[in-house]
Structure formats: C-alpha cells, structure tokens
Amino acid sequence: MLRPPISKLPRKPLRWRQIRQIQSSATRLAEAYDPVTIERAEDEVDVCIVGGGPAGLSAAIRLKQLEREKGKEIRVVVLEKGSEIGSHIVSGAVIEPRALNELLPKWQSMEDHPLTRPATSSHMRFLTQKLCLPFPHPPQMNNDGNYILSLSQFTRWLGNIAENEYGVEIYPGFAGSQLLLSPTPDAHDPWGNKVRSVQGVITNEVGLARNFTLKSSFEPGMAFRAKVTLLGEGAHGSLSKQAISMYQLRKEAQPQTYGIGLKEVWRVDPEHYEPGKVNHFLGWPLPYDVYGGGWEYHMDEGLVSIGLVIGLDYKNPYLSPYREFQRLKHHPYFRKLLSGKSERLSYAARVLNEGGLQSVPRLHFPGGALIGCSAGFVNLAKIKGTHNAMKTGMLAAESAFAAIHPSDTASSELSTADLSSYETAFKNSWVYEDLHEVRNMRPSFNTKLGLWGGIAYSGIDSLFLGGQTPWTFRHTPAGVKEKNQDSTSSLDASHTEPASWHQPIDYPPFQPPLSTDLMTSVSLTGTNHAEDQPVHLRVVKTRKYVQELDRARAGDENANLALGAGSSAVETCAKGEAASGEVEEEKKVRSEHVRVNDGMYAGLLGRACPAGVYEYVEQEGKEAESGEGWQGKKLVINSQNCIHCKLCDVKVPTQDITWTVPEGGGGPKYTNT
C-alpha cells in the first residue's frame, strides 16, 4: 500500500558528542550492512524515555517538575517511533482522571484540554443474535467523574505540555531498536546475578534496502546514552521484551495475557447521538468460550467510538477478530446506531494487557525500569489502564530523579542507577490497590464454564467480596508456565488448537458502508512504510534474535542481524564459512513456519492479523525449489500494511514472529482513536 510521505515534527538540534558524515557513492551502495563496524552519533542525556504515550509523557513531566522543585537540572529525552506524538495511540477511551489530577492539578484551566465530554451514563448489555438485554455490571465499571475522549488527542495535548511548558525534548520518528549495554558486567539483576547494565538506547538504522544493503540515504541509528532508561512502549513492546528476558523480570510473575482491541470512530446521525453515553456489551457474536466484549462511547462533537476486544487465548484458529467486529455491527442495535446520516471516520487495532496484578513483572532492572503498559497495569474490570500507566510513569520518574540526584554520598558513588525504590513505591500506591481488588476476575473466565463461570464468579467477587479473598487465581497451571521461562514465548499462543479440531466459521458478507472489507478499513489508518526497507516482522524466535543482538554488541563480526528477514537479506549479511549454512537455516525456518502454521493451523495469521499483513499463498514457477515453502505454499509478509498492533508476535502458534521496529515515522497515523 503506497501512502504519501509522512511529515515529521520539527526537532531541536541534538548535542552530539560524535558526528559521522555519510557520503553517498556507488561503492557505498554496494556495501552490506555491518552492525559491528558501524559508527554512530551519540548524545548524552540524564533520562531517556522510549515511547511518547501517557506513561512516558507523565514520567517526563514529573521529572521536569522535580527539576523545578529541587533546583537540580535534569535532561529528559522522549523517543517516539510514530511520525508525531499520538499517531500510534489507540484506546476506547473512557479515562479516569485520578493520575492527571495529581500530575497537573490545574489541568481544567489549561487551554485546549481534550477532557470536554464527561461520561453521563454507564450500562452493561448482553447481546443475543437479535436482542440487546440490560445486564448488571460490577461497581468498578461506574464512570462517574470520568471522561470520554480520543486517547490519541489526549496524548498529543500532554506532549505539547511536556515540550512547551516543561522543556522536555521530544523526538518523533525515532524508533528505539536496541538497548545500549555496558561493555562488561557492572551491576546485579533483581536476583543477584552479575549482568551488564542498560546505559541507553540505540535507534533504528535509516536507509537500509530490503536485502540489507546500504541505500544512498543510509544513516546509522543514534546512540542515546542515559543514566536512566524508562521503557514505556505499550503492550508487548520490543525493547521491553528484551529487558524482561535478559533480566528474568518475569521470574516470579505469571505470564502476561493479551486481548486484541479493534476500534472504529463514527460521526453518527444526530438522532442517534447521546453525548456522554457509555455502553459495554457481552455475548454475541463471540462464542461462550471466547473472552471478550464490545463498547459504545459517545464522544464530543457527534462522534461515537465503537469496538470489540477479544482475548487472544481463543482456541479456534478459524476465528477472525476483524470479521467478528464487522459482524457485531450487523446486530440490530448497532445497525440502528450507525444508520441514517452516519459516516465512519477511522479504524484502528492494538493488543492490550489482560493479565492483571499476577502478570506484572519485576519493574526495575540495572539502569532502568518498565512503565505503563510495558509492564501491564490495565484494570480489566474497569476496562481502563491510562490512569495506572500515568501514575507508574510518575512513580518511576521520582525514583529516577533520586537515583540521578541522590541525597546521600553512598548512592552518588553507584555507577549504575538503581530504581528498586520504584518497585516499593508501586506496591505502596493506589495502582497496586486498584489491580489487587480485581486480580481474580480475568482468570475466573478460564474454566470449563467459560463465559458463565466467569460472570458468576466476577459478580460475587465484585459485589460482595471486593477482591478481599485469601486466594489469587493463576492464568495457567505451573507446568505450563515452564514453557515461558525465557519470557519471550506467549501463553496465549499455547491455547490455540489445531484446525482439524474445529470447523471454519461462516462469516456473513460485508454490507458497506456498515461493514467493509479489511483493506478498506486499513486505508483509514493512514499507514505508511517505505517499501524498500528490511521486513520488520522477522520469522525468527525472539530468543534467537536477542542472542544475535548480543553477539553484535560483543563485537562478533559474524553476527547477522538480518535473521528472519528472508534468505536474500541473510545472504547479504552472512560472512565466512558459516554463510551458506545461515542461508539454508533461514530457508528451513521459513519452511517449517509454513508447514505448521498453514498445515496445522490453517494459516491463522491470515485471519487474525487486523491489517492483512500475512498471507499463505501458492508458490509459482521455480519458487517451489527455493526451500522456503511447504507443499507448494509460501508465506508472504505485506509489512507495509502493518499498523503496529503486535498481535502476530503474541498469537502465532509457532512463536517465531518477532516484531521489530521499522524505520522511525512509519506505521499508522491515528488522529482521533
């Protein structure tokens, strides 16, 4: 899909310690990418925050507030992979302003704030194929004092405050691709093991061709050296995955579980617009053994947000989250809501954390910490996480400031920032209480009773027990957890059953403009990626990819960072006697992926991906001899369509899709999601 180039916000000049001038030449164009010999521009900062979402921006603002309060300077940089702040942000959203009230007590008097539509009602509905029935909802779902808004717009407003009122340096279009580590072990992880500390972030290279040769526009990624690195990438962030694995941060936690949220924003007929109205839906079109539900939020200016969340632990590989969402709109209730002079304005999708308190990992690591949805603070009973994301960003900021400007001499002599105080602050905060109260609700749906068992337990727990029980449910038996010890494999993927155990789902035809084909919806996202760049959706297990990153960091000249990007890319970067073996292994991995995912799971990703990125198609001509397919089928990755939802990384049964960042500025350009 070709899109116009996405313009980038103006950036402040960076204070480089080392600048390398890139010269274009025919010889340069013939070069293969070599991560070991590359020279990078470097910048030194106090705190580097990866991700310009609510958590990252709240952390940045709180750090600069402390600078004013304490009179001690601190340089804060926020790196955002989207083309501008807010362009990759998706949520319902009804926001609880508790954290905002603490961060910016006078926000209501601030110009152009987006919290202009208070929620006026809150109801739960149960859908059958034809009926919409009232249904009791837990007290946590009350929305008194909450606001309906576009989280993308809210984040953009928060970014303007951070940059213009507090002096935070925000760099959109900078995608963090690697953790910058100390040369040798210089710290201890939370378990006492001697490890290399995080000393910042390296951004993605720009100007690499699809086969990993250097284009005339090539620019090496930049190294942001930081005393503290905060990872606020959102659910299932790529750097967060690396940190969780490297430092065993999930050692004492349950595996994280996820849902996929699909959303549309409509401008509805004035007759159907009820400002402030909030509805949540259970039941149809999802089967009883699939966790999920829908929403309807009447925003400001005649806009209505509708959507569907589906737990990614669903079993049937024939299920299509996108088709389920489109089918939801065929219900008489939604058909009426979206009838008349109604117009669809936008479409979006993103995975969200569902694990709750028992899936929150250890939050700190040597030199940094996880904040917001990178750790997973969504309160699923409330169907809200922004307030918790913002508060954890603020708590981490206070810990980071204390580490950089310690009050005692002993702490000032430490070479690596220790943010363990953030962990303590979290456990003493209202965020912990918020999650503890509802910790058993999501896993209560994981019984043979399915939907009805979960509803029964959640009703009793929320209405009578208030979460004050001596037990905490697990998401999985202990034996299953053993599969997730490296923290890179997904629990949700392990729930997927072979296609032979299920029947294909007969979805109704689309009924434009009420429901449309997938590509029509994707066109509303404004998604754009440069076509001739490496495929950022790698067919390689994350653990293997991280090991290759470690080899490159260690200066191993045979490290091949093209793994998973296709045989031609691997061949470009392969060196020495192992070159032919690496290419053959790449083909073998791709072939095995097709064999299992198409042969056993009927090409699950072709239906599960909400942007049409993956296809399992017939090989043509000599392709069958390439060794990359299976029984005449091959995998096609349309990475230019990717809307950065991360579903593939979570749900693929073989757990061999590793989501890495594309060139900064690529991806969707959301404005009102």
Where does residue 44 rank: exposed (0-12), middle (13-18), buried (19+ CB within 10 A)? middle
Nearest to 264 by CA among 331, 343, 341, 320: 343
Whole-number pLDDT of residue 627: 80
- Per-chain mean pLDDT for the chain: 90
Asked if 246 and 654 count as a contact pair (C-beta separation under 8 A), the reply is no
Where does residue 381 rank: exposed (0-12), middle (13-18), buried (19+ CB within 10 A)? buried
Count of C-beta atoms within a 10 Å radius of residue 120: 14
Whole-number pLDDT of residue 554: 86
Distance CA 260, CA 249 (A): 24
Asked if 397 and 60 count as a contact pair (C-beta separation under 8 A), the reply is yes
Identify whether 504 is preceded by a cis peptide bond (ω within 30 of 0): no
Average pLDDT over residues 506-515: 97
* φ and ψ at residue 198, rounded to 5 degrees: -80, 125
* φ and ψ at residue 635, rounded to 5 degrees: -95, 130
Q: What is the residue-wise DSSP string for 336-383? A: HHT-SS-EEEEEEEEEEE---GGG----EETTEEE-GGGT---BTTTT
Is 60 exceeded by the pLDDT of residue 2?
Answer: no
Asked if 293 and 527 count as a contact pair (C-beta separation under 8 A), the reply is no
pLDDT per position as a tens digit, 474-498: 887 655 544 445 567 789 999 999 9
Select the more confidently predicted residue: 302 or 628. Answer: 302
DSSP alpha helices (H): ranges in 405-476?
A: 409-412, 420-427, 430-437, 450-460
Average pLDDT over residues 289-293: 93
Is 70 exceeded by the pLDDT of residue 372?
Answer: yes
Share of the chain above pLDDT 70, in %: 93
Whole-number pLDDT of residue 349: 98
240 contact partners, CB below 8 Å, separation of at least 6: 231, 233, 370, 374, 375
Q: How confident is the model at residue 137 (pLDDT cuts 50, 70, 90)?
A: confident
143 contact partners, CB below 8 Å, separation of at least 6: 94, 119, 121, 122, 278
Nearest to 78 by CA among 203, 207, 219: 203
Asked if 562 and 573 count as a contact pair (C-beta separation under 8 A), the reply is yes
Asked if 428 and 418 count as a contact pair (C-beta separation under 8 A), the reply is no
Is 50 exceeded by the pLDDT of residue 448?
Answer: yes
Q: To which residue do tokens 């929150």 refer? A: 360
Whole-number pLDDT of residue 607: 97
Asked if 324 and 309 count as a contact pair (C-beta separation under 8 A), the reply is no
Average pLDDT over residues 358-375: 97
Whole-number pLDDT of residue 580: 82
Distance CA 669, CA 476 (A): 37
pLDDT per position as a tens digit, 94-129: 999 999 999 999 999 998 999 999 999 999 999 999
Identify whether 235 is preceded by a cis peptide bond (ω within 30 of 0): no
Name 279's bridge partners.
123, 296
Average pLDDT over residues 394-423: 87
Is 70 exceeded by the pLDDT of residue 351?
Answer: yes
Nearest to 17 by CA among 223, 181, 191: 223
- Model pTM above 0.85: yes
Select the more confidently predicted residue: 444 or 143. Answer: 143
Both tokens of residue 197? Answer: 């500390």
Q: Which amino acid is at 581?
A: G
- 3-class secondary structure, 493: helix
pLDDT per position as a tens digit, 244-267: 999 999 999 999 999 999 999 999
Is 50 exceeded by the pLDDT of residue 234?
Answer: yes
Whole-number pLDDT of residue 663: 92
Nearest to 655 by CA among 475, 482, 504, 483: 483
- For residue 629, what is the DSSP state? S
Backbone CA torsion sign across 121, 124, 127, 133: negative
Distance CA 103, CA 62 (A): 7
Is 60 exceeded by the pLDDT of residue 24?
Answer: no
Q: How far is CA 616 from CA 319, 503, 584, 588, 602, in A?
A: 16, 19, 21, 16, 9
End-to-end CA distance of the chain: 21
Distance CA 147, CA 62 (A): 23
Distance CA 291, CA 207 (A): 42
Nearest to 247 by CA among 186, 176, 192: 192
Average pLDDT over residues 55-77: 98
Both tokens of residue 151? Answer: 């989280």
Distance CA 416, CA 410 (A): 12
Select the more confidently predicted residue: 567 or 452. Answer: 567
Whole-number pLDDT of residue 141: 83
Both tokens of residue 609? Answer: 């991906």
Share of the chain above pLDDT 90, in %: 77
Q: How far is CA 2 from CA 216, 244, 528, 666, in A?
A: 21, 36, 7, 12
User: Which residues participate in catalysis according to the annotation?
Assistant: 91, 350, 386, 609, 642, 645, 648
Whole-number pLDDT of residue 90: 96
Distance CA 424, CA 191 (A): 16
Distance CA 571, CA 561 (A): 11
From start to end of 52-154, where are the E strands?
76-80, 94-95, 123-127, 132-135, 147-148
Select the more confidently predicted residue: 445 or 607. Answer: 607
Is 80 exceeded by the pLDDT of residue 625?
Answer: no
Q: How confident is the model at residue 5 (pLDDT cuts 50, 70, 90)?
A: very low
Q: Are strands 42-50 and 223-231 parallel, antiparallel or unpaired?
A: parallel
Q: Are strands 614-618 and 537-539 parallel, antiparallel or unpaired?
A: unpaired
pLDDT per position as a tens digit, 326-344: 999 999 999 999 999 999 9
Whole-number pLDDT of residue 42: 95
